[in-house]
Structure 1
Amino acid sequence: MKHKRCENCEKDLVGRTDKKFCDAYCKSAYHYKKSIDEAPSFYNKVDNQLKKNRRILKHYNKAGKATVRTTILLEDGFDPNFFTHYWKNAKGQVYLFVYEYGFLKTVERDNEKYVLVIWQDYMSNE
């Protein structure tokens, strides 16, 4: 009789005939190694960038409104092409949002900057 082996550590398996791993640790380790070896999916790339953008916007906007030079955000890994939604104010300015953290690109004294805001309830009504 041929013994099946654990797909992670290759020890002989005991128990059910359809068993693939000797324990939960081996199962987890196998799938972790597999995920590292595979190229990240498009979904994962987008999701990771959204999380990074949110983390960066949150870091620089502790007071609820802030202005930060574009270069500072970009150096931290911020990518303005990844956002979840937008809001247009009465002046016609379009704020892009990453969940509850918004940003608006502006130019002040020949310096590109982002005005950072936090989503407010009144923004839902317009």
Structure 2
Amino acid sequence: MDFVTMMAEEKIREAIQRGELDDLPGKGKPLVMEDLSGIPEDLRAGYMILKNAGILPEELQAQKDMVTLKSLIECCHDEEQRQALKKEYNEKTLRFSLLMEKRKQTHSGPYQFYQDKMLDRFR
């Protein structure tokens, strides 16, 4: 062990002895591990940072917006507003298609798996 690791371990032991770690949220509950197998290894840290900050990657935000717009279109009774929503939906769909074409990810296995999970979550 290097010096920094030993100092960190010592600080943690001291905090445990003083009881400073007794009332942490989630104490006694199992950890929920993220399944990141569908995300390329070099992008995982970035995705986790974005997720923890509540920010979605651009393509997922576009998908989320598309699901929301689709629901609004189905509920809308005003024909003029419905047409405006359809136009916005078509723009989002085009933007999403361009993003996926640019990234060439539309046919990869991990992308399809991740896309299905995210769409299920937003429905």
- Shared topology, TM-score over 0.5? no
| Relative contact order higher in (CA < 8 Å, ≥ 6 apart) | 2
Compare the two structures and name the one with the higher helix fraction. Answer: 2
Compare the two structures and name the one with the higher strand fraction. Answer: 1
TM-score if structure 2 supplies the norm length? Answer: 0.29
